[in-house]
Amino acid sequence: MMELQAVDGGGGTVFDTSGEYIDRWERRPQGWRIVRRDAVWSVFSGDPAIIAAGQIESDRIQ
């Protein structure tokens, strides 16, 4: 799994992560379902402050 967060559609400051999901599955009457998902991040790069900046922009638009 990879995540990329960018402000203003890219081209500026970015925050990039890479990792994996570890899922726990259970069989239910409706079929197999994920009952727990843990994210294990292995790489971080860039400026994590843009995550908060993106949330502020999202709040402003709403």
What confidence tens digit (pLDDT) does each residue in 15-59 have? Answer: 888 899 999 999 999 999 999 999 998 988 888 887 777 655 555
Residue 43: per-residue pLDDT:
87
Rg for the chain, CA atoms, rounded: 16
b/e burial code for range 7-27 (CB count within 10 A of at least 16 → b): beeeeeeebebeeeeeeeeee
What is the reported pTM?
0.49
The predicted pLDDT at position 31 comes to 98
Q: How confident is the model at residue 14 (pLDDT cuts 50, 70, 90)?
A: confident
Q: Which two tokens stand for residue 20?
A: 């994996």
User: What value does the mean pLDDT take over residues 3-13?
Assistant: 59
Integer angstrom CA distances of residue 3 from 10, 11, 32, 39, 51: 13, 16, 26, 12, 11
